[in-house]
Structure 1
C-alpha cells in the first residue's frame, strides 16, 4: 500500500485563473449548469464545499452531491477532502506513531518503509506540554520553563523530531513557538492554497476543539478526534451531509471600552439560547466591518462554546490587511484577494446569499461582562457583580492587602492570544496591580 500518492483532481470545469499562471475550478459554472442562478444564493460554506466537490468528487456522483447543496437537502453523504491536517503534539504524536508502526510492518514484509507518508500535508505544533514553574516576574522564566519542558519530554520530543526528518508531508513546529491556533492563524494558513498548478480554498481538520479559530480568515476548519484526523491524513475523504448553515447578522457598533471578550461572552450566551448545536455559523453584516481580525478570531475560537461546528467570516479587506500585517508573501496576499473576488468568496459577492435561518446580534447592546471559568455561557454583567454576591466592599488597612487576597490578571489562552488588544490590556492591568502572574 502506497500512501505517497498525489491528490487526484477532476478535469471538468478546470480553467485558467485570469492574470495568474494557475488554474482554478469554476464552481459557479458547475452549480449554475444544474440550476441557473443558484450559485449567487449559496452561503459561503456551501460555495467552499461545492468547490471541493467539483475539484475532487467522483464525476459519477458529482451532480447528485451538488444537488444536495443547491437544494439544501440532507439525504445523501458527500465527500469532503480537507487540504491539510493540523495536530497538537499529544494526539498528533499518536497518529505518527501509527504510521511509524506501519513502516515497521512494511519493512518486515520486504517493502520500502519510506513509501509510508501522510498524503495530506500535516502540521504538528508542540504546544500542549508546557507547565509554568517560573512566573513572569523572573526575567529568565521563558528559558527556565523551556528547559524543564525539554527534560520532562525528552523521549517524546526525540520521536517528534525524528518524524520531521523521516516523513514527507510533515511539518513540525517545535516547542517554544506559541499556541497551535495562534500559529495557524498568523503563519500557517495561506487562506487560498496553490498546489499542482491549481488554486483552491484552504480547508483543514485539527485535533483540538478550538481549531475553528482560523475560521476568522474564511477558512473552514473543524476540530476532530485523532482517528478522523489520521484518516484524513492518509488521503481518505471525510464524509458529511450538508450541515445546517446559519447566518448571524452582526449590526451596530461596540460601545467605547468594550473588548472582544465582552462581545464573545454576550454572543456565547445569545447563541446557546438559539440552539446552534453542530451548525456552521457565518458572521456578516454592517457590524462586522468594525471587528478587527483579532476580534473575529476571538469569536471564531469560541465556536465549541456556542455549541457549533464552525464560525466563519467572509474574506474582505480586513482579511487582506491582516495577511500583510502578519508577514504573508505579497504574491500570496494578491492571490487571496484575486481568487476570492473571481470565485465569489469576497464579502461583496455574498450580498444575495440566502440562509435557511438568520439570527441578528447587536454589538451596541454589549456591556462589560465576566463568565466562567467552567461555564462560559453563564455571563454576568460587571454592573451586577455585587448584586449576585460575586463582589463586595472589603475593609482593610490602607496600603495593605487583606489576608488571603490574590490579584490575578488573566485571559483565556487560545481565545485571546491572537487579539493584541486583549493581551496588552491583561498585561497592563497586571503591571498596574503589581501582580507577578499573567497568563496571556
Structure 2
C-alpha cells in the first residue's frame, strides 16, 4: 500500500544513471535535531503512513520528540526484513506451516500465508564441538550435525521452496550475525523503485550486531518475528536515546573486546534497558567497522534496544571490502547525505541522556565469572578470581592468602557495583555459601578480596594416551575462540593467530586438560588465516577448525574428555571456561564448568597456554620456552602495527565475493537432502524433531472474552535475574529428565538425544524442558514435618505439587494441575526473562498452563513474548516483592480486573488476592494498544491469523 504522504515527503533521488523514490525526512518539522536512530524511525513512518496503524499524528509526535520525557507515545515500526537463526527460526517456520493448515481449516487459502517482508534464516546454531584439536574435527562435526538434524534440515528445505520471500543459508557457512554484516545487510534497501534505510528484526537478541553498519535492528521473539514476516508492524514506544560520545584512541595492547566490556560495564551502571544507545563524536571515526559491530553485538548484555553507529566513510569502506557492488556503495553514500543520516563528528544531536568515554582509558579486561557486565581488569583477574572462587567450593582452605591486588592506578581492585542477586547460585550447600564479591558495594570489595584465599583440591588425571597431570580448582578446561561477538573482527582474530605463532616459536604448548576450539563466524576468517600462513600455528596449539557456527557461547561446547569430566564431577572441582563470546551465565557453557569468563581471542589463546585462571598474566609466566626460560604474555603479545600489517596483506574483497557467490545453494550434503513438496507440510507421525503444535487447535473465528483468573497455584517462585536460559530449554537433554524420558519412550537412543535447541520444532520436547535448567532455584519448599519452613527443593526443574504436597518435576506438576483444571502463576524478582530472545521461554510457559507471571521487573523481549503467547505479565507494586508481601508460593491466587480488557481498554492495575488474606494491586505490563489486541486474541499468532482471514 502506498503512503498517504501527508507531509509531501515523496521525492526523487538520482544516483548515477539510476533514480529512486525516497521519503524526505526534512519535510517533518523538528527532524533536523533528532538523533540518527530516530530519523530512521521517522522515515519508516513517512513511507508506511496508512491513516490507521500509522497516522500523521504519529509522524508529528516523532518529529516533536521530547528527549526528557518518559516514553509514552506508541508507534508502529515496519522492519524492512526479518533475520533468523535455525534454533529460533525452525519454530517460526513450524508455526507458519501450522498457520497454513489453520487457514485452510477455517475456509481460507493456505498459500496466502507467506512472508510479506524478506526473511532470511542462517543455520548456525546446530553444530556442536564434539571433536577438537585434530585435522578432521570440522568434517566430523559437520557429519554429526547432519546426522542429528536431518529432519529439521529437510523441513527447512521444504520451507525454502514452499514460502515466497524466504531464504535459507545452509550449515557450515557462518554465524548468522556475521553473515548478516558481511552479506545480507544492505544499509540502504531498494524495492519496487523505492530506496529506504535497511531495518531488521531478528530472532536472536544479538541481531544488534548490524547496528555497527548503521542499520537499525534488534532482537525480538520468534513470535514477533513471525508477525513481522506476515506484515504486522512492531508496536513500540518512542524510546529515550542515550548519546555516547567517543574521543581519543585505543592504547597499545588493548582490543575491541576490552572496549566492549568497558562499554558494557558503563551502560549497565548507567541503566539503558529499553533505550536506544547512539555513538557519536570525533572518536567514532577512529573505531573500525568490525569494532563497531562488536559493540553493537553486546547491546543485549547492557540492556539497550539498539547500540548504533551512524553511516560514514568507514561504513562505505567496509561495504566495499566485503564485496558489495559499487552501485550499492554510491546509493548508500548519496542517500545518507541527502537524508541527513551521514555522521558529522562535530554535530551534537539532542539526546535524552549522555555518556562519554575517552578511548585511551580502556584497559585489557575479561568479564565473569557468570555475568557479561562484571568486568574484570586483567591486572586484577587472579585476585578477583580467588575472591569469587569462595562461592563455588565447599569449605575453602585458605592457602597462599594474598591481599587485594593493585590495579592500574595502584588502588585496590574493584568489581561491578551493580547488584543483581542471582536466582541460581552455584551448587554448594547453603550453609557454606558466602556472598558474591560482585554483589557487594564498591567500598566493601577490597575487604572481600583481601580475605580471599586459594581453595585447592589437586586431583591426578590420566588420559587415555597416558598423559598424567594434576587438575585443581580454577583449571581452564575450555578455551574457545567462538561466537559472533569477536569472530567477525579481523583485528582480534589475527591478533590471536599472531600470538599463537609467537607462542609456538618460543616453544610453548597448550595444557593437556584444555579443550581448544576455533569456530569462526564465516569462511573468510579461515581464508585470511591461510593467506597469512597462520593456520599451522593455531593448530599446533589445538585450535583446529571445529565448525562455522555458534558453538561454545550457546552451550554447544561438546563434551570434555571423559577422564577430565570424571575428575571434575567426582571431586567437585570448580573448572573454568574462557571464551571470546558474549554470554557466560551459569550452566550455559558446559555442565562440567561452573565459572565462565569472556575474553578477547588473544587472551583465550593465552589462557589455553596457562591452563588456569589462578595466574597473574602481567607478572607470572605462561610457561617455559624451548630454551628453558620463562615466557610472559608481554613477550608474545602482538603489537597493533603487526596486526595491521598482516591485515593489509591477508584480507581482500575477492574473498568475500567468492565465499558468498552462491551462499544459498549449500554444499553437496545440503543439496542431496530429500526435499518434501506441497503447499502444506506432511507431518511425520513418528518425528521427534518437527511436530505440529497445538496453538490453533479449536480456535474459533472470533476470540472469546478475556476472563479473570481464579483458584491459581504457584508453579515456581523465583528470585532475581532469572534469564531465558533458566526458563527456555537449552543445552543437552538428560536421560532422567521428562524430555529424556519422552525421547526414550519414542525409541530414541541416548546418544541421539541431541540438544534442546535442535528439537525446538517439537513442542512435546520443549515443554518438558521448560524451567528445567540445572541451575534454576525454585524457592518453593516442601511442607514441613517439624518446621513451618520445610525442606528446600534441589536445584533444577523441580517444584511442589500443591495438590499432593509432593516434590516432582515442573512438567509433571503442570500436567497434574491442567488435568485438575487449575490455572498456574509464576512469582519472580527483578529483571525476569533477561538474556536471549527465546520464544520458547514464553511458548513453554504457556503450554505448562501458566496464565500469569508476577515479577518485580521484566526484560523487554520476554515481557512482549509472554503477551504474544497469551500469558499476562504483572508487576508487583513499586517497592514490593513476594518477600515483602509475605508470599511463600503456597497460596491460592485470584486475579480480578483483567476483564476490563473486553471493553477495549487496558487497566493500569488488577487486584491480586490470596486465600491467606494478602491483597495487592499489580501493575499490568501490557504497554501498548497493540499488545492489548494480542492478549485479547489469546496471542499474536491467533491475532494475525484472524486478521488474515478477515482480509
TM-score with structure 1 length normalisation? 0.90
Tell whether the 8 Å contact from 2:368 to 2:376 is kept in structure 1 after alignment: no
Tell whether the 8 Å contact from 2:208 to 2:218 is kept in structure 1 after alignment: yes
Q: 1:178 aligns with which of 152, 174, 191?
A: 174
- Alignment partner of 1:151: what SS? helix
Deviates more, 1:299-308 or 1:17-26: 17-26
Q: What residue is the counterpart of 1:89 in the other structure?
A: 86
Deviates more, 1:355-364 or 1:105-114: 105-114
1:82 Cα shift? Answer: 0.3
- The 1-side partners of 2:169 and 2:490 are apart by 22
Q: What residue is the counterpart of 1:332 in the other structure?
A: 328
Tell whether the 8 Å contact from 1:211 to 1:221 is kept in structure 2 after alignment: yes
Tell whether the 8 Å contact from 2:284 to 2:345 is kept in structure 1 after alignment: no
- Alignment partner of 1:138: what SS? coil
Structure 2 vs 1, CA of residues 108 and 79 (structure 1 numbering), >3 Å: closer, same or farther?
closer
1:320 Cα shift? Answer: 0.3
Q: What residue is the counterpart of 1:52 in the other structure?
A: 44
Q: What residue is the counterpart of 1:130 in the other structure?
A: 127
Q: What residue is the counterpart of 1:232 in the other structure?
A: 228
- The 2-side partners of 1:385 and 1:406 are apart by 14
Q: Which runs of 5+ in 1 are unaligned?
A: 1-6, 33-37, 395-399
Q: 1:41 aligns with which of 33, 47, 52?
A: 33
- Alignment partner of 2:14: what SS? coil
Q: What residue is the counterpart of 1:62 in the other structure?
A: 55
- The 1-side partners of 2:305 and 2:94 are apart by 28
Q: What residue is the counterpart of 1:403 in the other structure?
A: 470
Structure 2 vs 1, CA of residues 299 and 22 (structure 1 numbering), >3 Å: closer, same or farther?
same
Structure 2 vs 1, CA of residues 390 and 255 (structure 1 numbering), >3 Å: closer, same or farther?
farther
Q: Which runs of 5+ in 2 are unaligned?
A: 388-399, 403-453, 455-466, 520-951
- The 1-side partners of 2:2 and 2:86 are apart by 29
Q: What residue is the counterpart of 2:144 in the other structure?
A: 148
Q: Deviations over 1:144-193 (max 9, x none)?
A: 11110000001111000111111100010111111111111111000000
Tell whether the 8 Å contact from 1:27 to 1:50 is kept in structure 2 after alignment: yes
After superposition, where does 1:262-273 map in structure 2 within 5 Å?
262-273=258-269
Tell whether the 8 Å contact from 1:261 to 1:298 is kept in structure 2 after alignment: yes
Q: Deviations over 1:93-126 (max 9, x none)?
A: 1121122123234445675433321111111111
Tell whether the 8 Å contact from 2:281 to 2:347 is kept in structure 1 after alignment: no
Q: 2:101 aligns with which of 85, 101, 104?
A: 104
Q: What residue is the counterpart of 2:349 in the other structure?
A: 353
1:322 Cα shift? Answer: 0.2
Q: 2:509 aligns with which of 410, 434, 438?
A: 434
Q: What residue is the counterpart of 1:3 in the other structure?
A: none
Deviates more, 1:383-392 or 1:336-345: 383-392
Two-structure CA RMSD over aligned residues (Å) = 2.4
1:21 pairs with 2:26: no
- Alignment partner of 1:211: what SS? helix
- The 2-side partners of 1:157 and 1:268 are apart by 36
- The 2-side partners of 1:387 and 1:112 are apart by 65
Tell whether the 8 Å contact from 1:294 to 1:419 is kept in structure 2 after alignment: yes
- The 2-side partners of 1:256 and 1:18 are apart by 44
Q: What residue is the counterpart of 2:729 in the other structure?
A: none
- Alignment partner of 1:22: what SS? strand
Structure 2 vs 1, CA of residues 132 and 8 (structure 1 numbering), >3 Å: closer, same or farther?
farther
Q: What residue is the counterpart of 2:494 in the other structure?
A: 424
How many residues are treated as equivalent by the alignment? 423
- Alignment partner of 1:385: what SS? helix
Q: Deviations over 1:373-412 (max 9, x none)?
A: 5211111111223443559999xxxxx9962265754345
1:79 Cα shift? Answer: 1.1
Q: What residue is the counterpart of 1:113 in the other structure?
A: 110
- The 1-side partners of 2:275 and 2:346 are apart by 19
Structure 2 vs 1, CA of residues 384 and 108 (structure 1 numbering), >3 Å: closer, same or farther?
closer
Structure 2 vs 1, CA of residues 386 and 115 (structure 1 numbering), >3 Å: closer, same or farther?
closer
Q: What residue is the counterpart of 1:4 in the other structure?
A: none
1:167 pairs with 2:179: no
Deviates more, 1:98-107 or 1:196-205: 98-107
- The 1-side partners of 2:51 and 2:112 are apart by 29
Structure 2 vs 1, CA of residues 429 and 190 (structure 1 numbering), >3 Å: closer, same or farther?
same
After superposition, where does 1:359-378 map in structure 2 within 5 Å?
359-378=355-374
Higher relative contact order, chain-length normalized (CA < 8 Å, sep 6+): 1
- The 1-side partners of 2:123 and 2:9 are apart by 40
Bigger fraction of residues in helix: 1
Q: Deviations over 1:24-48 (max 9, x none)?
A: 011211x13xxxxx22211001100
1:70 Cα shift? Answer: 2.5
Q: What residue is the counterpart of 2:765 in the other structure?
A: none
- Alignment partner of 1:16: what SS? strand
1:76 pairs with 2:73: yes
1:356 Cα shift? Answer: 2.2
1:413 Cα shift? Answer: 1.2
Structure label with greater radius of gyration:
2
After superposition, where does 1:264-343 map in structure 2 within 5 Å?
264-343=260-339
- The 2-side partners of 1:54 and 1:152 are apart by 47
- The 2-side partners of 1:93 and 1:140 are apart by 29
Q: Deviations over 1:17-76 (max 9, x none)?
A: 1333211011211x13xxxxx222110011001000110022476331123222225443
Q: What residue is the counterpart of 2:214 in the other structure?
A: 218
- Alignment partner of 1:434: what SS? coil
